[in-house]
Amino acid sequence: MSETSSLKTIRLGLAGLGTVGSAVARHLRDESRLLAGRSGFRFEIVRIAVRDKARHLAAGVDPALLTTSWRELVETEGIDLVVELMGGEEEARSCLLAALEKGVSVVTANKALLAAHGAELFAAAERTAASIFFEAAVAGGIPVIKAVKESLVGNHISAIHGIINGTGNYILTRMTEAGLGFSEALEEARAKGYAEADPTLDVNGWDAAHKAIILASLAYGYWVAPADLRVEGIDRVARQDIGYAARLGYVIKHVGVIKAGNGGGEVEVRVQPSLLPREHTLASVGGVTNALAIRGDLIGESLFVGPGAGGDATASSVISDIVDAAHSLDKGPRNAGFVPHGLYGRTKPAALTVSEFYLRIPVRDQPGVIARIAGILAAKEIGISATVSLAPSEMPDGKFNEVILMTHEAPLGLMEEAVEEVAREAFVTGPPVLLRVEKP
């Protein structure tokens, strides 16, 4: 008799056998003795739902395990846990709802699904006393979900600032370190396998926004409506913005911000390229690495850094959830998954959020340009805190063609009104670039 034969077996249904699903299956097989020794359970995959059975048969997967129907997987007799790694929204939603309605707990790495349908899924779990585990849905292999749910349970979270998309961080890092333009950096990311063939969600900010919604749900006890988010991508950041920011003492990063106002009330949830002070730890996080700075009233600021994507890194978080789910199944739920606590529940309108700003305005060299821009800002009680002086080599024919300035704190709505007014001036030759300044 083997040393693990007397252990309780957890029977798994695996929906999806792509990069992450294959890594999970491989590690469950190859590290079975390690997991048994550490967890006290044996894990057995008894059904796998895939889209292309022939491809996986050719790869040597046991044909008895394979099905092309997630319904057949959910209905398999004796399934203890459904692990959803197939991606997408509607099919994954239907799969998880079917499992939860049967009282079967689930593990998912599907951030887009949770951001769009989290309230519905967790309501279904509550009705049947099932649980949802989702560590891998945010920041890949970094155990940030567990940290917020468990390690920081006694803290009021005042703010989370995160670099939570590896592709975007790689692009901005290469623009900063190698002087590449946006398109060049994106093509390099594709060539290295860091960007998808269609990188839209990475570039336009919505991959990070999905993660921000999940983090906000944990920190503040409500599901943010996607329509309430302010989401900006990195595709409008130009090489010269990187350089000007450096002169001013900043680094441009794509940052997710989740923070509560003083004394509670409304919560800011937004994602945008931002200028970070060069000395802040997040500013030094490069490449595809993810990082989150979480501030609690008891602990102060904690920093979590690690791989935000990749098959093995994400599998690490999925397997952690599988083990947690096994203990929950064995001993009963231990507030596993999302626990609504209703501390806040309102998202602050983006127009009312306040920060300092960086503004670059393409202009025609003529008298009174800077005075006119300063006057428009002053009329809205927005002060200028710094400017960038162009070197002769940066001025075609000896004439300045850009105004670059930093402002004091102002509401976003007023700042955008001022920028729109500036853009209508005859001396402006192109769209202004407005970026937030974050000081975590």
CA distance 152 to 252: 29
Is 55 exposed, middle or buried (CB count within 10 Å of its CB: 0-12, 13-18, 19+)?
Answer: exposed
Asked if residue 80 lies in contact with residue 365, where contact means CB atoms within 8 angstroms, the answer is: no
Chain centroid offset of residue 371 CA: 40
- What residue has token string 């001993």? 331
Instruction: Using CA atoms of 102, 107, 111, 117 in order, give the dihedral in degrees to the nearest 10.
Output: 10
Compute how many other C-beta atoms are within 10 angstroms of the C-beta atom of residue 354: 15
Least Cα distance to 7 among 48, 36, 49 occurs for 36
Strands 289-296 and 300-307 turn out to be antiparallel
The tokens for 83 are 């692990």
Q: Which residues are catalytic?
A: 211
- What residue has token string 């409008």? 236
Least Cα distance to 404 among 416, 388, 392, 391 occurs for 388
Compute how many other C-beta atoms are within 10 angstroms of the C-beta atom of residue 300: 9
Is 38 exposed, middle or buried (CB count within 10 Å of its CB: 0-12, 13-18, 19+)?
Answer: exposed
